[in-house]
């Protein structure tokens, strides 16, 4: 019996993906564990493995197809001993569906009596990937196209028929009102370029909007002296250079910040929490997610059990995670979860900022640049390297006193950095 291969759900939040490439071809034998395809999600490119043995009978969705919904049929595998050439496509007696999946040209003309407006699903037009691609190539806005497919879905013929229609002049814009105006109406046509959001940017926009709307943030700030930590960092890197001509790692300030935050959370476990459907999960291990900028957005790979790892281990692991994050090669387990986050913009010269909490985590630490500032010691004014940090806290889980205790512990570890090594 043929094995249907559908678009997998590679993460809990995945709704659709892009087939970046097929690593098998029709007629090829596959075994469990063989890589069938590379799937791009909003965060990473992941390999999709076969779970059964057989022969690839049909590849239904070509490489490069975007916005393929989870559970969409993308390929068929014939079981061992089954004639792959005789495999029939699902719904073979339905030309309309065949035209959609494998682009057969003999689909029936749409019946205008049953045409209906394309329904919306999560603010997206309900159309097939092929229809979307043809529309994009022809510069056609699908929002005004009627669909004749199942449940009003827009199919290839709908788009082709719409492209044949003479183009009409765009309707004159009515004066904007406070209730009906689109923001684009505020700017003259031709004075801007429209940048469409990719799946990563849409996901970031949705999650951050939800975070600010549903998480009651409050913020705690502290100035932390860095001179002792910078001196320790120099000593550790110098020692590593003496052992290895080309050290496998180079400790950064961010590595030390990760360890200091992890130790502080281990010391204040009431802040090492996440939100779970009206309950609070207090975690035994401290898993620190670290914001990494990548093309089109950011991702937060996680240092697991950071409180128990050495600085060199954190440094090596962080370097590997960051490199694979930028190449979109992380697995979901490497960037989902975490009990806290660190966002460091100090390397970009930002003095201070407030970060948005990454649900379901209870805290995120925003790290600014270390700058030379005057500090008062007793009756003397001296100059020290100081960085400003801001702790964003979810008030549903962590009260002000607990947040202050956490930030005080973090400051103590950074300003007495030998305690980080113990």
Determine whether 226 is exposed, middle or buried from the number of CB atoms within 10 Å of its CB (0-12, 13-18, 19+): buried
d(CA 323, CA 312): 17
Determine whether 236 is exposed, middle or buried from the number of CB atoms within 10 Å of its CB (0-12, 13-18, 19+): buried
Determine whether 26 is exposed, middle or buried from the number of CB atoms within 10 Å of its CB (0-12, 13-18, 19+): middle
- Residue in 395, 416, 418, 421 annotated catalytic: 395
Residues in the chain, overall count: 422
d(CA 212, CA 254): 26
* 395 in catalytic set: yes
Active-site amino acid positions: 395
């Amino acid at each position: 019996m043929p094995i249907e291969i559908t678009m997998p759900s590679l993460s809990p939040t995945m709704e659709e993906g892009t087939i970046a490439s097929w690593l098998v071809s029709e007629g090829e034998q596959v075994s469990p564990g063989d890589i069938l395809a590379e799937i791009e999600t909003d965060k990473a490119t992941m390999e999709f493995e076969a779970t059964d043995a057989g022969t690839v009978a049909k590849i239904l969705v070509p490489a490069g197809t975007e916005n393929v919904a989870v559970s969409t049929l993308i390929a068929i595998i014939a079981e061992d001993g089954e004639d792959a050439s005789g495999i029939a496509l699902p719904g073979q007696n339905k030309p309309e569906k065949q035209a959609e999946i494998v682009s057969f040209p003999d689909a029936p003309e749409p019946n205008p009596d049953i045409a209906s407006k394309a329904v919306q699903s999560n603010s997206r037009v309900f159309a097939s990937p092929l229809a979307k691609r043809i529309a994009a190539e022809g510069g056609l806005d699908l929002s005004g196209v009627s669909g004749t497919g199942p449940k009003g879905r827009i199919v290839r013929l709908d788009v082709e028929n719409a492209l044949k229609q003479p183009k009409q002049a765009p309707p004159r814009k009515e004066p904007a009102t406070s209730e009906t105006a689109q923001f684009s109406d505020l700017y003259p046509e031709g004075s801007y370029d429209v940048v469409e959001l990719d799946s990563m940017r849409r996901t970031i926009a949705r999650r951050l909007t939800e975070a600010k709307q549903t998480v009651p943030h409050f913020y705690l700030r502290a100035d932390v002296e860095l001179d002792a930590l910078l001196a320790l960092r120099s000593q550790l890197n110098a020692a590593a250079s003496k052992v290895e001509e080309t050290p496998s790692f180079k400790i950064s300030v961010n590595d030390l910040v990760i360890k200091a935050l992890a130790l502080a959370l281990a010391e204040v476990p009431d802040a090492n929490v996440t939100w779970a459907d009206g309950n609070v999960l207090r975690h035994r291990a401290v898993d620190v997610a670290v914001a990494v900028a990548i093309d089109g957005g950011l991702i937060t790979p996680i240092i697991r059990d950071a409180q128990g790892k050495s600085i060199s281990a954190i440094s090596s692991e962080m370097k590997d995670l960051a490199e694979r994050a930028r190449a979109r090669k992380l697995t979901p387990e490497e960037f989902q979860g975490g009990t806290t986050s660190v966002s460091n913009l100090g390397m970009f010269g930002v003095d201070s900022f407030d970060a948005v909490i990454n649900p379901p985590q209870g805290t995120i630490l925003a790290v600014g640049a270390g700058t030379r500032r005057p500090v008062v010691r007793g009756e003397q004014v001296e100059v020290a390297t100081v960085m400003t940090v801001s702790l964003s806290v979810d008030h549903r889980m962590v009260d002000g006193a607990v947040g202050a205790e956490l930030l005080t512990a973090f400051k103590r570890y950074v300003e007495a950095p030998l305690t980080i090594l113990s």
